[in-house]
Structures are given as structure tokens and as C-alpha cells.
């Protein structure tokens, strides 16, 4: 029983780390694409990569349980910063998926919610 729980936690930690790495790569690729167009799009489809990031993020939110921490209460400025960052992530995802039409709005909203939830539940 304990081995199954440890294996589950290991797999979920790996998925969370993959999500964080893929998200960081998505941001880097986006800025590279803005600076020099077609440098990344010639080799990578952003829509498929973003879908992978969103799936990893959803799995992380649904199943990852961070260790209990003796936490401090967040202040209003902390919540404001988290909300602003989440909105910027949503806008970035909306910008990246603008070619798929109205579905890009849904992708932007989902990514903003994933980002907000991950920041609030992070282990740091």
C-alpha cells in the first residue's frame, strides 16, 4: 500500500515537473517567435505543444497533493500579483492560439485558472 502511494506521488511529481518545464519552454519559444518569426514554428506546432502543456497542467491540478506546510497567510498584494500573473498567462495562451478561433478564448481561460491554482498550491 505504501509503495503504491510512493509510486503515485513520484509519477505526479514527474508530471508536475514536466508541466513546469514545458510551460517555461512555451514562454521562451513565444518570445523567440516574437523576436524572430518562424524560428520555432518551422519545427514545432504551437497548438499541439500548448495542448500538451494544458493536459499536464490539468493532471497536476487534479491529482497533485503538495506536502503540508506551516504557511503564512497571503496578503492582498500577494493575491493581486498572482491574479495579474495568471491573467498575463491567459493572454499569452490566447495570443498563441488565436488561429483556432473562439476556442482560443477557452484555452486562455483554462490556462489562467491552471496557473492561478498552481501558484496558490505550490510547495515553495
Total of domains in the chain: 1
% pLDDT > 90, the chain: 3
Query: Which range marks the domain in which residue 38 is found?
Result: 2-120
What pLDDT does 71 receive?
63
In the structure, what pLDDT confidence band is assigned to residue 18 with cuts at 50, 70 and 90? very high
Give 59's contacts (C-beta < 8 A, 6+ positions apart): 12, 15, 19
Rounded to whole angstroms, the Cα distance separating 44 from 80 reads 34
Each residue's pLDDT tens digit, 47-76: 888 889 889 888 888 887 766 665 677 788
Rounded to whole angstroms, the Cα distance separating 77 from 60 reads 26
Each residue's pLDDT tens digit, 61-115: 888 776 666 567 778 888 888 888 889 888 888 887 888 888 888 888 988 898 8
Q: Is the dihedral of CA 53, 59, 61, 67 positive or negative?
A: negative
Amino acid at each position: 500500500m505504501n509503495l503504491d502511494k510512493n509510486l503515485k506521488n513520484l509519477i505526479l511529481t514527474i508530471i508536475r515537473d514536466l508541466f513546469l518545464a514545458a510551460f517555461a519552454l512555451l514562454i521562451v519559444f513565444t518570445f523567440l517567435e516574437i523576436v524572430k518569426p518562424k524560428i520555432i514554428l518551422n519545427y514545432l506546432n504551437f497548438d499541439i505543444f500548448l495542448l500538451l502543456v494544458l493536459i499536464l497542467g490539468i493532471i497536476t491540478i487534479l491529482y497533485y497533493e503538495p506536502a503540508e506546510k506551516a504557511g503564512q497567510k497571503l496578503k492582498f498584494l500577494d493575491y493581486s500579483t498572482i491574479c495579474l500573473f495568471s491573467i498575463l498567462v491567459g493572454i499569452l495562451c490566447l495570443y498563441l492560439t488565436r488561429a483556432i478561433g473562439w476556442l482560443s478564448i477557452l484555452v486562455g481561460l483554462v490556462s489562467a485558472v491552471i496557473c492561478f491554482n498552481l501558484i496558490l498550491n505550490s510547495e515553495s
